[in-house]
Chain A
Amino acid sequence: MIGISFIRVMNNAFRNFRRNVWLSIATTLIMTLTLCIILFLYIVNVLGAEFLRNVEQKVDIAVTFKDSTSREQVAIIQKDIAARSDVENTRIVTSEEALKEYRKRHADEPFIEEALQELNKNPLPSNMYIVAKDPRFYENITASLRSDKYSAFIEKVNFQDSKVIIEKMIRIMDLIKKAGLIATGIFGLLVILIMFNTIRLAIYSFREEIDIMRLVGASRWYIQGPFLMESVLVALISVCIATTIFYIALNTGATNINQFFFTGQNTTFDIYRYVVSHWIQIVGLQLGAAIGLAVLSSYIAVRRYLR
């Protein structure tokens, strides 16, 4: 009995959808648009997080020691810094190593070698590179290195450049997320309003049948179910359309997106592969948002007009 009732409720939901077909299509389109914005936000989030992770991996603090600082003093400072709880690792590049690397890099430029010969001493200082456990810790570590404790040994602490890039990136990401969330909110509200009106009209179209259903002992589910199911139907169609659009767009643009965000970076990240491997999460996100909005609006309409 429950099975046949469910089939009848679904049949009535399809009939409701057909009876106000243009309104149903408009609702579906707005819902699809909302889902596309949500998907766009999702992708921005994924790409942004991956991009930041890559940039962060490259960030470190470069400490240049004074010429007068001895190797022993450098070793003591390194030990001191490495012992901090906010430091991931430290690496020393001695002036000899730096010179060797410099020569290697400019091997095909003989005038540089000649200049070095003329100087008759190593012009490159020793350096220490520090990687923090979290980008937020760099500020503290830098402040500590610039304190009086190390001022006699350290020439320069270089962090500013990377900091600016990271902060700028975070600001852009936040801006995109905020704009996306506002757009999602506006479209979400539109979906609720349009869906509410669709269901209200459907209830109006079927008022005669609803009266008779009550008269002959229809359960609340049998009367209200088709209207709730109609909204779920709109949600499911919207998810299908949005997923198709998203897949086509991604299939076409994945190479360009990967190039734009990750060219020159040491990563194998591929947005297309990421989406394919996370399809359950992506479809689930859409279903949650679409069915949530649909059921909320139709529930309000049903409560108001079908008491």
Chain B
Amino acid sequence: MITFTKVSKKYADLSPALQEITLKIPTGDFVSVVGQSGAGKSTMLKLLSAEEKPSEGNIVIDGWDITKIKNWQVPYLRRQIGVVFQDFKLLPKRTAFENIAFAMEVGGAQPKDIKTSVSQILKLVNLADKAHTYPNEMSGGERQRVSIARALAYKPQILLADEPTGNLDALNSWDIVQLLMKINRLGTTVLLATHNDDIVNALKKRVITLNQGKVVSDQQAGTYKL
């Protein structure tokens, strides 16, 4: 369970990015976070991965108040939360396998475990045959799947996807959304920040709409409306 209680985030000299957000996201939920650029979608996800700290309020993940998190605890939090970005953030000189393995190496996994887990994850994202391919030899959709695979390396409880389809065509976008649904069905809570109304409307899942840092709508099986 993720709980936001009166969470605000203010950046210096700018209007508040988030204002008094209060909401609950049960474990295993699939939530789309929508809103115009600057509405606060990315800020919301950054607060969850402790990239930013809220100016006010509390965020609790499964009983852990991450607003009081110490610097040395941040890596442990991030191993429980997978993050996917629009620009993939893959290492160009490493193959798909190595990019995923890299995340596991960082956490101190043994080489044998890395080999087994990475192969399984590559199968999950339908890239088993691209294990030794470099990012620049892949399509945008494939790169995003590698990025998702890397986010799954620690088997996280939560997956944060910040505009994962922003750089993809419609076909590849649907592939990615299908993959996120699949991951959600396996028990992972998924938060999807997106602009893509077709996807949000087709998903028929919970939709939180942000406007100028405030929650203006929170609907179960909702639709994209601004």
Task: Tell me whether A217 and B76 are in contact (CB under 8 A).
Answer: yes
Task: Tell me whether A213 and B106 are in contact (CB under 8 A).
Answer: yes
Task: Tell me whether B107 and A8 are in contact (CB under 8 A).
Answer: no
Chain A residues numbered 202-225 whose CB sits less than 8 Å from any CB in chain B? 208-209, 211-220, 222
Cα distance, A1 to B104, chains bound together (Å): 11
Residues on the A chain within 8 Å of B107, using CB:
216-218
Cα distance, A42 to B201, chains bound together (Å): 79
| A2 adjacent to chain B (CB < 8 Å) | yes
Chain A residues numbered 178-223 whose CB sits less than 8 Å from any CB in chain B? 208-209, 211-220, 222
Task: Tell me whether A217 and B78 are in contact (CB under 8 A).
Answer: yes
| A276 adjacent to chain B (CB < 8 Å) | no
Task: Tell me whether B102 and A212 are in contact (CB under 8 A).
Answer: yes
Interface residues on A, range: 10 to 19
Residues on the B chain within 8 Å of A2, using CB:
108
Task: Tell me whether B106 and A208 are in contact (CB under 8 A).
Answer: no
| A122 adjacent to chain B (CB < 8 Å) | no
Task: Tell me whether A216 and B72 are in contact (CB under 8 A).
Answer: no
Task: Tell me whether A216 and B91 are in contact (CB under 8 A).
Answer: no
Residues on the B chain within 8 Å of A1, using CB:
108
Output the residue of B72, B75, B83 with the most chain A CB within 10 A: B75
Cα distance, A282 to B153, chains bound together (Å): 49
Task: Tell me whether A4 and B110 are in contact (CB under 8 A).
Answer: yes
CB distance from A48 to the nearest CB of B (A): 50
Per a CB cutoff under 8 Å, which of B71, B76, B103 touches A216? Answer: B103
Nearest A residue to B107 via CB reads A217
Cα distance, A215 to B89, chains bound together (Å): 10
Residues on the B chain within 8 Å of A216, using CB:
78-79, 102-103, 106-107, 150, 153-154
Residues on the A chain within 8 Å of B108, using CB:
1-2, 4-5
Residues on the B chain within 8 Å of A219, using CB:
72, 75
Task: Tell me whether A212 and B154 are in contact (CB under 8 A).
Answer: no
Task: Tell me whether A211 and B78 are in contact (CB under 8 A).
Answer: no
Residues on the A chain within 8 Å of B111, using CB:
4
| B105 adjacent to chain A (CB < 8 Å) | yes
Residues on the B chain within 8 Å of A222, using CB:
106
Cα distance, A214 to B83, chains bound together (Å): 11
Cα distance, A212 to B89, chains bound together (Å): 7
Task: Tell me whether A217 and B91 are in contact (CB under 8 A).
Answer: no
Cα distance, A219 to B106, chains bound together (Å): 8
| B179 adjacent to chain A (CB < 8 Å) | no
Output the residue of A214, A215, A217 with the most chain B CB within 10 A: A217
Chain B residues numbered 95-144 whose CB sits less than 8 Å from any CB in chain A? 102-103, 105-111
Cα distance, A4 to B101, chains bound together (Å): 14
Per a CB cutoff under 8 Å, which of B75, B76, B89 touches A211? Answer: B89
Residues 143-171 of chain B: 1 if any A CB is under 8 Å from the residue's CB, otherwise 0? 00000001001100000000000000000
Nearest B residue to A211 via CB reads B89
Nearest A residue to B75 via CB reads A217
Nearest B residue to A212 via CB reads B89
Chain A residues engaging chain B, CB cutoff 8 angstroms: 1-2, 4-5, 8, 208-209, 211-220, 222
A–B pairs, 12, beta carbons within 8 Å: A4-B109, A4-B111, A208-B91, A212-B102, A213-B106, A215-B78, A215-B83, A216-B102, A216-B154, A217-B74, A217-B107, A218-B106
Known pairs A212-B89, A216-B102 / 20 extra A-B pairs, C-beta < 8 Å: A1-B108, A2-B108, A4-B108, A4-B109, A4-B110, A5-B108, A212-B102, A216-B78, A216-B103, A216-B106, A216-B154, A217-B75, A217-B77, A217-B78, A217-B79, A217-B106, A217-B154, A218-B75, A218-B107, A220-B75
